[in-house]
Amino acid sequence: MGAIVMGSKPFEIVAECELPGLPAGADITRISEKIEQARRARPDVARAVVNPPAVYKEKRYVLQTRLVVWAEDASRALQAAQELLADAGLVCRTILPSARALTAAEVPPPA
């Protein structure tokens, strides 16, 4: 689960996580802590950051989360991001690779 494979490269993944209602600052902090706790268990995820505030979109509040995943390809990076967010107890509306190209110099592989 989550091992970094030779030939891996960093991918930035953007997820929109659904929330049951308008979150307060403490709710966003709690969500960030859950994501960070799940990230620590996955050596292939170098970074996971929530981007407040939550926005109202299609009758739901969503909170954008950005993850940097080391993987062989985008589909494996997406799968790792989905698993991490599920481990954190979040339901995500969308999980997509960003168009941003990352280099190993910008995001060293997690130790």
pLDDT tens-place string over residues 83-94: 999 999 999 999
Residue 68 domain flag: yes
Predicted local confidence at residue 19, as pLDDT:
92
- Domain of 65, in residue numbers: 9-101
CATH of the domain at 95: 3.30.70.100
Residue 2 domain flag: no
Candidates 32, 16, 22, 89; CA nearest to 56 is 22
Residue 109 domain flag: no
Predicted model pTM: 0.88
